[in-house]
Amino acid sequence: MLKSDEMMDSNTLPEGGAKNASGLRHADSAGRWVWLAIISILVIGGYVVVSRWSGARGATAQTAVHPGVQVSATAAKRGDFNRFLSAIGTVTAFNTVTVKTRVDGQIVKVAFKEGQTVHQGDELVEIDPRPYAAALSQAEGTLAKDQATLKNAQITLERDRSLFSQGVIAAQDYDNQQSLVGQSQGAVKSDQANIDAAKVQVDYTRITAPITGRIGLRLVDVGNLVHAADTTGLAVITQLQPIAVDFSIPEDSLQQVIQDLRKGQELPVYAYDRELKARLATGSLETFDSQIDQTTGTIKLKAIFSNTDYSLFPNQFVNVKLLIDTVRDAILVPAAAIQRNTQGSYVYVVKPDKTVEVRTVTVAATQGDVVALASGVTPGEMLVTDGLDKLSAGTKVVVQVASSEPAPPSSP
């Protein structure tokens, strides 16, 4: 039947038809393997290329991010190095006077302004002089009376001398007249002394400045009654120019100071504010005390300052620097560059290839943030001052020059 024939599968095909179908299946299988091989090659090649590109990019990025250790460095310099003794000082006035009255009376005039500079002899206060002027006039009147009595006694004495030589009067009368003349002379001298005392009292009613200096606040007003026995004064005058600063140094440093003074050297002294930042005044050492304080092991020194700008006031606390020695042509480096270990002091020197070298140094002196080296570094070499904790010999660095370098302590 026709349907049976159509339903025949390949097993019923002729021999030639079966071979053709098998060939087609083998061809499809081979093609698939070729494509799989090509895809595998492409994947492997792409992976290698990407890996190499990523590795190169990572290495470049790592090099860009970490080119070296970031440090700050400062060049060593050559200059003069001054050594100072530091102390805390107190500003003291050479002269301070409390102006007081020496007579009793009522104030009729105040001739000064608070805070002004007065000079020796300037009038400050006037006390009512009328009672003392009256006493002076009385003393002068007594003197005139006694002078007249003296003159009369002297005339009588001359007459008695002539009469006594003629034997007219007795010797006792002549002697009594001589005694009367002597008494009158004594009365005249006493009267003159009373006049002088009265003049002094009148002068005391005009109170003047005993010294040159700055006068403080007024303690009395016009119209007040004042007395010589008053404990409070009328005003206080303080000498501010020049002015002194007292400070103490260790007894071990005294010999250095004495040697410099014996050489006739003037030892500069610098006064600073409490924070030791602003220099207030420059002066010189005046003298030192005669004995050492055994409780503190220090000796007191006095420096003098011209104080033309009134930067120093009595009882003010200041930081003092006394120049005692100068090291010439020293190698100066920042104190931050100096490192220390059990073997001594060393620094990190930046070499031309941007690596660091550990260099042993000898410290000659230290003053504040500057160190003078005796050996180990030459002027111009760059020394690391910041980032030292990350360094070792041969470490590559990226140098940032310090924005501010400590000035040599040639002048504080």
Do 272 and 199 belong together in one domain?
Answer: no
pLDDT of residue 4: 43
Q: Indicate the residue among 308, 326, 344 that finishes a domain.
A: 326
Comparison of pLDDT for 118 and 46, the residue scoring more = 118
Q: Is 10 domain-assigned?
A: yes
| Tens digits of residue pLDDT in 317-343 | 999 999 988 888 889 999 999 999 888
Do 75 and 152 belong together in one domain?
Answer: no
| DSSP per position, 355-369 | BEEEEEEEEEEEETT
User: With contact defined as beta carbons under 8 Å apart, do 283 and 236 qualify?
Assistant: no
Q: Crossing angle of helices 171-204/130-166, nearest 10°?
A: 160
Do 291 and 342 belong together in one domain?
Answer: no
Tokens of 40: 């595998």
Do 310 and 242 belong together in one domain?
Answer: yes
| Tens digits of residue pLDDT in 359-386 | 999 988 888 788 999 888 999 999 999 9
Q: Is 256 domain-assigned?
A: yes
Comparison of pLDDT for 81 and 17, the residue scoring more = 81
Q: Is 407 domain-assigned?
A: no
Instruction: Provide the CATH number for the domain around residue 246.
Output: 2.40.30.170
Q: Is 164 domain-assigned?
A: yes
The 3-state DSSP class for residue 14 equals coil
Q: Is 316 domain-assigned?
A: yes
User: With contact defined as beta carbons under 8 Å apart, do 276 and 319 qualify?
Assistant: yes
User: Could you give the number of structural domains in the chain?
Assistant: 4
Do 311 and 359 belong together in one domain?
Answer: no
Q: How confident is the model at residue 401 (pLDDT cuts 50, 70, 90)?
A: confident
CA–CA distance, 384 with 338 (Å, rounded to integer):
9
Q: Is 226 domain-assigned?
A: no
- How far does CA 201 lie from the centroid of its chain? 49
**Which amino acid would we find at residue 88?**
I
Comparison of pLDDT for 50 and 195, the residue scoring more = 195
Task: Please give the residue range of the domain that contains residue 340.
Answer: 70-79+328-401
Q: Is 411 domain-assigned?
A: no
Q: Is 103 domain-assigned?
A: no
Q: What is the pTM of this model?
A: 0.64
